[in-house]
Copies of this chain bind each other. A is one copy, B any other.
Amino acid sequence: MLADRSCVVEHAALTVAADDATAFEEALQRGFEVLARADGFCWAQALHQVEDPTTYVLLIGWDSVEAHTEGFVRSDLFGLWRAEIGPYLTARAIVTHHVLGPTVGGAR
């Protein structure tokens, strides 16, 4: 569960070409390994929409909003991340940040 660790959650809605999903997910896994090297990174999880397979939601945990918007975005890692996933995006990513709210259940 996201609540395993109390991080701010970046929510990024992305669109890719319909025939690029497999290659995009391979690039995304490489990109996530870049994110994992960033200060203040907690975890990252991609969600692939069933109703519209050209749409992905990336959920990325950070220690704070600033760890993403000031630390990561201004670091050399940002260019490496964008180089992996940028070529697949067919629209500008829609990015917001969220704090964890109520939760129930989970795997344990």
Q: Which residue of B lies closest to A2 (CB)?
A: B45
Q: Least Cβ distance of A38 to chain B in Å?
A: 10
What residues of B have a CB within 8 angstroms of the CB of A47 in the complex? 2, 9, 11, 98-101
| Cα(A3)–Cα(B43), bound, Å | 11
The answer to whether B29 and A102 have CB atoms under 8 Å apart is: yes
What residues of B have a CB within 8 angstroms of the CB of A65 in the complex? 50
Segment 83-108 of A: residues with Cβ below 8 Å from B: 96-108
The answer to whether A4 and B44 have CB atoms under 8 Å apart is: no
**Number of residues of chain A lying within 8 A (CB) of chain B:** 46
What residues of B have a CB within 8 angstroms of the CB of A100 in the complex? 45-48
A20 interface residue (CB < 8 Å to B):
no
The answer to whether A25 and B101 have CB atoms under 8 Å apart is: yes
What residues of B have a CB within 8 angstroms of the CB of A2 in the complex? 1-2, 45, 47, 59
Proximity bits, A21-32, B CB within 8 Å = 1, else 0: 000010011001
The answer to whether B103 and A46 have CB atoms under 8 Å apart is: yes
